[in-house]
Chain A
């Protein structure tokens, strides 16, 4: 019975998150508009875009292979899977045992490699340029990300996300210097991996600057809709990981009505706050040159390592 309940809640949570991922992006877009004194398109705009793209005919390049056509589906599926693993509202998620934090990074890498390969499939100059830049950003972001998780895993003696959240919840609110380093590093990785400013500009199609957009230039129609949606889901996943790792207080341990509703309210509130914060950061910052991006990520990597070393000092 309890397994049935937990699995059904798992499905409820996953469907809710997958369905509301564009909402978060819409919220951020609206925030950015407000911050730059514009009216904005409303927080439902991403839904309209996805709906429009899904209705359109898909135009494929003549030499597009099966890889190109299947990547949007794989990319979306991997992001959905990650959503199922992260304990967002409830700390004892049923599917969390499928993958721990190291596997989580592996899954992000899987999605990224497929996307980069698809970008190279058509054989345009922009496609391979985007793939190269994306891999350049990620080969530094990935180890930084891994070191952030390493830090948390050392602290909580586990790599399972549910265990990390449970252990963190059992402490009262604590400020740990190593976690501060890890949080800054994670935030930098989040910016880089989600193609946000200052590493990449999600709204540009200027050849000198685009990274992520260059990879998906050849996609259209339903494929593009899936990729856009998966990107929104990816951002939501990163936010959820940030909440689970650094600020899990409010996530419920028990599957009862009242704590669950309060947990949902608190987590949604946190997501909106992070979204606003990120929009504010983006409005205030400018894009760095491409070759400054490795420096940006190297500093994230070094911060993450510093965090681990401080954690070790604390453990001794």
Chain B
């Protein structure tokens, strides 16, 4: 018996019961969200404590006789699962606290629906992380997809929302089918679906590679890899903000978990071609680049964050690809470095993206606007939210000493070891990939300046923004939870690095792998000290120290007076808030540079037009190039099939007769 695992499953059971009873309670009473969501948070805290106290315990297995007779559910808690459960618990504590206030003003029917699905969603994600057989995994995966679907469409039933939900469900199921096929190929003897059996079975190289690609496609659909990313920018604006935070921060990482589980665990004994790693690398790279370019030209703040999630998933997948390449060249140390970068970025992304999505929730509540072009100047009216969002923004822009920088630093360090791979064309390709990765980091900073600058800085673009109210106490608590984590993991990444070092050593099946990614608690190094080092805490201290010294010295020696006056703006007195850059304006240079890769429709009026109308819309090309033709084909096929439908019983009898004949002929 493995007690941490049993306790974790107990927490999920608690959530299910809480979800059902709380959902019923909310349906028939009012004003109970606060206490009920906090009860859910209690489960998350328990999960976090279990995770912390069982860090060093050995992996445990549990078999529960639930489900179809003869197929008991297997659960396993190894380092990989434990890390992702930890990630979920950290993220869900903050999101739960935030939700407890956020959903107060919704009608009771929606409240009960949200509450029920929210807790199902949490529980099913934990099951995904813990499942140790294909059957249990896919069941949990389906629960996850369905509960999140209901969360997306719960809020308001506009055509866009149901369209977004439908698209999400469609892509989620395409992915699920690919995963199912992949698992089917990997199961050696059909009645045994356990991961243990898959791990030890021996597949032919063709089959193994096929399973690999299917798993990449299946999990890639969930992670939003190119070209299966189209559901993300639709789903996030439709979903309520805490749900977006949970989906982006945690649910996307289930896909990363799945990839790691399949690539490094289930297929670890198989003969995987080295080019599979390259495919993963390139898929991640293209996703990261396209995600960030499209993020730069969004005008809806949640769409912008959705595209940025795509970018971050791309970076994580890129790191996984690099790890696969190192691993197939038997360079376990460097593979571990890249894997640590991937996992650390998962964790960081969960923190800062949840924080930013929750902040957009506050902005949305306070102003009712998602459109960047109608926001602005909120730092004056919502100082708390603006402060927390600044931390999230800097973390996501990847600047030291916050956490987002550190994982990118690790990945760059891993890239620097690529000349050790003894394959010439990879030696030439990987540095180019590193360059493209660097480009995506540069663009991410652009995106974040746009996001923060247009929402919080400047003058309010609409008069109603002046009445915007700051977050409530519980919401601040939720935001603050993430902000503190962002800063602390940035300054002291060592505890998490310690977990990850152990995890990667086990995952790569090299228990004695020496990963001195920390030479002391102060300095971080990739492999050894001479290779380069980074000390976020000292860096932070120095900056604070110099700022303080400077401030005191200027006050002491020089004029510390200031006077307020209207803005100067080169002496132009008639400036209005509408002269600031809009979201389109700020993204215009990027649109201009990358226009060949995008689908831009703009309408500019002629010089003497009396009723001038400007419009510009930018989409990615994938919808038109890939999805639209497929859609048309399916519709055409459906039309052909509908010709069979005549509405007369004699025809249908004829069809039955013909089918029977055909079958008889076949079996004969």
- Mark A residues whose CB is within 8 Å of B: 54-65, 67, 70, 73-74, 76-78, 80-81, 84, 95, 97-103, 106-107, 109-110, 112-113, 116-117, 120-129, 131-133, 135-136, 138-143, 146-147, 150, 153-154, 157-160, 163, 205, 207, 217-218, 221-222, 226, 291, 294, 301, 304-305, 308-309, 312, 315-316
Contact = CB atoms under 8 A, between A and B. Distances in A.
B579 A125 contact: yes
Given A65-B457, A117-B453, A158-B530, A124 B446 contact: no
Query: A140, A157, A159, A308: which has the most chain B beta carbons within 10 Å?
Result: A159
B487 interface: no
A102 B532 contact: yes
B428 interface: yes
B459 interface: yes
- How many interface residues does chain B have, given as a range? 35 or more
A309 B453 CA distance: 38
The majority secondary structure among interface residues of chain A is helix
B449 A113 contact: yes
Interface in B408-461: 409, 412-413, 415-416, 419, 424, 427-428, 431-432, 434-435, 438-439, 441-443, 445-446, 448-450, 452-454, 457-459
B352 to A, nearest CB: 14
Contacts of A70: 547
Given A81-B539, A159-B532, A316-B424, A116 B416 contact: no
B538 interface: yes
Interface of B: 376-377, 379-380, 390, 394, 397-400, 405, 409, 412-413, 415-416, 419, 424, 427-428, 431-432, 434-435, 438-439, 441-443, 445-446, 448-450, 452-454, 457-459, 523, 526, 529-535, 538-539, 542-543, 546-547, 550-551, 554, 557-570, 572, 575, 577, 579-581, 585-586, 588-590, 592-593
Nearest to A68: B457
Contacts of A76: 546, 550
A77 B543 contact: yes
B586 A132 contact: yes
A97 B533 contact: yes
Contacts of A55: 558-559
Contact of B445 (A99, A121, A139): A139
Contacts of A138: 442, 445-446
A136 B589 contact: yes
A109 B397 contact: yes
Contacts of A74: 543, 547
Contacts of B547: 70, 73-74, 77
A207 B380 CA distance: 28
A160 to B, nearest CB: 5
B581 A67 contact: no
A152 to B, nearest CB: 10
B20 to A, nearest CB: 46
A193 B561 CA distance: 32
A64 B445 CA distance: 23
Given A122-B569, A150-B438, 18 more contacts: A54-B557, A63-B459, A65-B379, A74-B547, A77-B543, A97-B529, A102-B534, A106-B405, A122-B458, A123-B376, A123-B459, A125-B575, A127-B569, A128-B585, A154-B416, A218-B569, A304-B435, A312-B419
B535 A97 contact: yes
Contacts of A141: 442
